[in-house]
Amino acid sequence: MSAPPEGRGLLIRGGRLCDPARGRDEVADLYLSDGKIALESAPAGTPVLEVGGLLISPGFIDLHVHLREPGFEDKETIATGTQAAARGGFTTVCCMPNTEPPTDSRAAVEFILRRAATHGAIRVLPIGCITKGRRGHELAEMGELAAAGVVGFSDDGSPVADSRLMRQAMEYSRAFGLPVIDHCQDPALSQGGVVNEGAVSSRLGLVGMPAAAEEVMVARDIALAELTGACLHLAHLSAASSVEHLRRAKALGLPVTAEVTPHHLALTEGRVMGVLGPLPHKLGPLPASAYDTNAKVNPPLRTERDRQALLAALRAGLIDAIATDHAPHTLVDKECEFDDAAFGISGLETAAGVLLTLVDKGELELTTVIAALTAGPARLLGRPDLGALRAGAAADLVLIDPRAEWAVEPAQFASKGHNTPLAGARLRGKVLATIYGGHIAYLDPALEMKGAPLA
């Protein structure tokens, strides 16, 4: 990382400033000074970065990433994962606790915070386990974790199957004012499943996970949120039926929030069969690209109907945040039989491109996308200092060329995980620079060549 010329600040001039938290979407200049967004206008002689035609957004916040360290450094480290995040326009990520050891103790939280401070390119906020070792039998020391600085509790990767234990977890989390984040999936209903249950699982001869496996757990969790008054955050919603439960919960005024991933917004189960777009009425011979393990993800890619319901829920503000569920894996984890392959998509570096491509296609509004990457997650975290370009706040922002077309090349990822079903896909909309606390966390060569006074 490098800083703008010492003491002189930086004037970012002529960009389209999109800041949903403050209701702003206009061409405006932005002056950064001492790592913060400055209130006053830039003094004469301030270095200028001309960004006409570019979009300026508050730095993105990802509520759900897997940084894999400690324990799985062959898949990702805090260094490589945060570099990938910076490339994706993120200045804050919340990391899930399914590491080895899992984040179920003060020492484990402190390890992550220390590592992030010394090796991280951006801000890392740890999420602590709900149960000891994520085993689902006994609550973790939630008070100790809260005191150590976790921003929520989750056994992500697994749900908390025991409803009584989940109730207790919610009662504690309420006392600490932190959300419980659940990976909603009935383990008995989804057992052995590797794709969505339906036409594609039948055609491919794979065990399916029905949408109902998600729906029943969403319904249970909402009932427990109502019982306990705890904040419940539903991770990676994938099914239309789940959205209906969320709608009901919000109508009742329950403290329930939800996130959706870029892959569930953009792709369907057809991708596992090698089909892009809607499935043909009659499923013919399988293309060579069928059984692509890079499209194996949990919860699975579902139907076009589910995808449309998720898009509509995001547009309507029912879904609060877009989170990547960045799940990097090694080649070996994915280059095997479909049944044996690991679940997950390396998503940090394609998220902005995927979402802006949906904007380009008219499926989402730009302000909806930016809000779900900034103001929405900041509100969930209770951090008004993040996700907005407020004077006096840390200069966390991202510069985007919404028209730039580019092809996804996993070999170029900063992430160690090259597992993406989007290899070769052409996306429209590219992150050109990510500024974290006034420092350059990522700079695209295209901007570097324009002579940006940044590096």
CB of 319 to Zn ion, least distance (A): 16
Pairing of strands 256-260, 321-322: parallel
Please, which of residues 267-326 interact with Zn ion by CB under 5 A? 325
Q: Is 76 in the site for Zn ion (CB under 5 A)?
A: no
Decide whether 33 or 82 has the Cβ nearer to Zn ion: 82
Q: Among the residues of 120-196, which ranges form H helices? A: 142-148, 163-176, 187-190
**Tokens 């990391």, residue located:** 95
Decide whether 154 or 173 has the Cβ nearer to Zn ion: 154
Judge whether 161 and 195 are in contact, CB under 8 Å: no
Q: Is 183 in the site for Zn ion (CB under 5 A)?
A: yes
CB of 299 to Zn ion, least distance (A): 7
Decide whether 183 or 329 has the Cβ nearer to Zn ion: 183
Please, which of residues 34-73 interact with Zn ion by CB under 5 A? none
CB of 343 to Zn ion, least distance (A): 9
Residue of 155, 325, 333, 444 marked catalytic: 325
Q: Is 360 a catalytic residue?
A: no
- DSSP state letters, 208-274: EE-HHHHHHHHHHHHHHHHHH---EEE-S---HHHHHHHHHHHHTT-SEEEEE-HHHHH--GGGGGT
* Among positions 19, 69, 156, 182, the unique one binding Zn ion when judged by CB under 5 A: 156
CB of 406 to Zn ion, least distance (A): 26
CB of 217 to Zn ion, least distance (A): 11
Q: Is 329 in the site for Zn ion (CB under 5 A)?
A: no
Decide whether 76 or 156 has the Cβ nearer to Zn ion: 156
The conformational region for residue 21 under phi > 0 = left, psi -120 to 50 = alpha, else beta, is alpha
How many beta carbons lie within 10 A of that of residue 107, not counting itself? 11
Interaction pattern, residues 98-117, with Zn ion; x per rule: CB under 5 A: --------------------
Decide whether 9 or 347 has the Cβ nearer to Zn ion: 347
| Choices 72-80, 176-184, 301-309, 424-432 (CB under 5 A): range interacting with Zn ion | 176-184
Q: How many residues bind Zn ion (CB under 5 A)?
A: 3
Decide whether 104 or 325 has the Cβ nearer to Zn ion: 325
243 phi/psi in degrees, rounded to 5:
-60, -35
Judge whether 92 and 125 are in contact, CB under 8 Å: yes
Q: What separation, in Å, do the N-terminal and C-terminal C-alpha atoms of the chain show? A: 8
CA distances from 229 to 20, 171, 306, 410 (A): 28, 8, 29, 43
CA angle, residues 277, 63, 21, in degrees to nearest 5: 95
Interface residues with Zn ion (CB under 5 A) are: 156, 183, 325
Q: Active-site residue numbers?
A: 325
